[in-house]
Structure 1
Amino acid sequence: MAEKVVVIYSGGMDSFTVLNRALKDGKQVYALTFDYGQRHVKEISCAQTVCSNLGIPHKVINISAINELLAGSSLTDDIDIPQGHYEADNMKSTVVPNRNMILLSLAVGYAVSVGASQVYYGAHSGDHAIYPDCRPEFVLKMNEVCKIANYESVEIFSPYLEVNKSAILTDGMTMGLDYSNTWTCYNGREKACGKCGACQERLEAFADNKVSDPIDYE
């Protein structure tokens, strides 16, 4: 029987690649998506479509009530989404306080309940400059804790931790993935803005791989 894993699946291109990497690795995947009140809620509908098409178990968990505690992020508060390069200092406004520690803790709890040995998590090197909870030292410490937090040891596995978005897309292309059902833009509009840091990093990845992004931009 295939090893069970939980994949934190936002609906973005990174977690979409992670999801398919887990399937390619022969894992029995349980996809987990969090609604934490993010304005780019369109990513959740993308996740639902993909999981339905793949026929894999998928839970969407509403944890938006935590925003009563976690203030100050432009992803969840009434603060303008910054424009500019992904690693620009102004992108720090998109940090949601303690988000990944919370999401990983919930995912590990789910993993224990379904008998999964790993939680797949889509952090990558392009996140390191702005997001402390995507850096290798954070993943290492969370991994150490999650191996002893329960009677059952659960590993935090980040297959793309040391590579950037362009390399993630390269791997996805080798798997023949279609990125039309992914969403990256931080603005919650019908089309991607093409100007926020998330959009710019995505567009750079497609340009680096010399392919066209299949989603629509304003």
Structure 2
Amino acid sequence: MASSVASDRSAPRDRFHNGWAVATARPITRSPATSSPFPPLAIALLSGGLDSATAAALAIEAGHRVIGLSFDYGQRHRRELDAAAAVAGALALEEHHVIAVNLAAWGGSALTDPAIPVPDGGVVEGVIPSTYVPGRNTVFIALGLSLAEARGATSLVLGVNAVDYSGYPDCRPDYLAAFQNLADLATKAGREGQGARLWAPLVAWDKATIVREALRLGVPIAATWSCYSGEDLPCGRCDSCRIRDAALVAAGRADLTSAAVRAGADLPAGAALRTGADC
């Protein structure tokens, strides 16, 4: 029988105590030790953003060893790959893989086609934004599933959340449930009842909740990257920056907003680092 997508923090069922520390952050408090000396393995899709970093940290807190998987897909904000590497190091992941998948070859998204401007007018309910990348999550989750089966991982950790699924069809609970059914049918491990479970611990959370949880966990927020602009510093104008900044201010961490980062680099809010930045 196909298992359902896990959306609660208790979803990883096997737990193991093994403390870890993040530079400049306190260690995560883990669940009590089990009798097993071998923590279960999880694959975390790691974009370099706040959401995926928080999801990976939750998997670690729940007792998993974690392998990070990131994608160089021709995104204009390739800076996020540097952030993914920094997060993988800070969280002391078992491994971190970066796979090249050139989705920019056919464009169709503001994130892969420089001719399409990045939206900055706010999220519109029921409207799929131009930052949707055709088929991206389906490709990424399929590759994550391949790695999970090859390594015997029990979970595939995703950072999708309520902010995402309000606009993106491949971040919604019904999509995740359908992909779980596919995973159970399409893999040897799934057919044998040993397949990886998709775990989306943030799926019902808004950005403010994610920020609060990231702070509780000691996630290195300053090392993460959410901006879509393709600049060297967060632009503060794109929808992704604005949503993140509002959540940080609400959490009392205005020092981590894009405006604060730019001020530290002596750049005024809204100024572009590169000529032609169209965010």
TM-score (norm 1): 0.93
Letter in 1 for 2:156: V
Larger radius of gyration: 2
TM-score (norm 2): 0.74
Write the distance in 2 (CA, Å) between the matches of 1:170 and 1:91: 27
Residue 113 (structure 2) aligned to one of 74, 77, 96 = 77
Write the distance in 2 (CA, Å) between the matches of 1:88 and 1:144: 28
Change (3 A) 1:53 1:170: closer
Instruction: Answer whether contact 1:82 1:93 (CA < 8 A) is retained.
Output: yes
The match for 2:96 is 58
Write the distance in 1 (CA, Å) between the matches of 2:206 and 2:199: 16
Structure (1/2) with the larger helix percentage: 1
Letter in 2 for 1:59: H
Instruction: Answer whether contact 2:169 2:175 (CA < 8 A) is retained.
Output: yes
Write the distance in 2 (CA, Å) between the matches of 1:185 and 1:77: 16
Structure 1, unaligned stretches of length 5 or more?
A: none
Instruction: Answer whether contact 1:91 1:197 (CA < 8 A) is retained.
Output: no
> Can you list the C-alpha shifts for 1:110-134, whole angstroms capped at 9, x where unaligned?
1001110110001100112210101
Structure 2, unaligned stretches of length 5 or more?
A: 1-37, 190-194, 263-268, 270-279
1:104 aligns with 2:141: yes
Instruction: Answer whether contact 2:49 2:80 (CA < 8 A) is retained.
Output: yes
Letter in 1 for 2:203: L
SS in 2 for 1:148: helix
Identity of aligned residues (%): 31
Change (3 A) 1:93 1:207: same
The match for 1:156 is 198
> Can you list the C-alpha shifts for 1:49-81, whole angstroms capped at 9, x where unaligned?
2222333210011112x3334x21010002211
Alignment of 1:179-218 (within 5 A): 179-214=221-256, 216-217=261-262, 218=269
SS in 2 for 1:94: coil
Write the distance in 2 (CA, Å) between the matches of 1:50 and 1:123: 17
Deviation at 1:88, TM superposition (A): 6.5
The match for 2:211 is 169
Change (3 A) 1:115 1:35: same
Write the distance in 2 (CA, Å) between the matches of 1:82 and 1:90: 12
The match for 2:178 is 141
Write the distance in 2 (CA, Å) between the matches of 1:213 and 1:44: 23
Q: Cα RMSD between the aligned structures?
A: 1.6
The match for 2:43 is 6
Write the distance in 2 (CA, Å) between the matches of 1:148 and 1:36: 27
Write the distance in 2 (CA, Å) between the matches of 1:182 and 1:55: 15
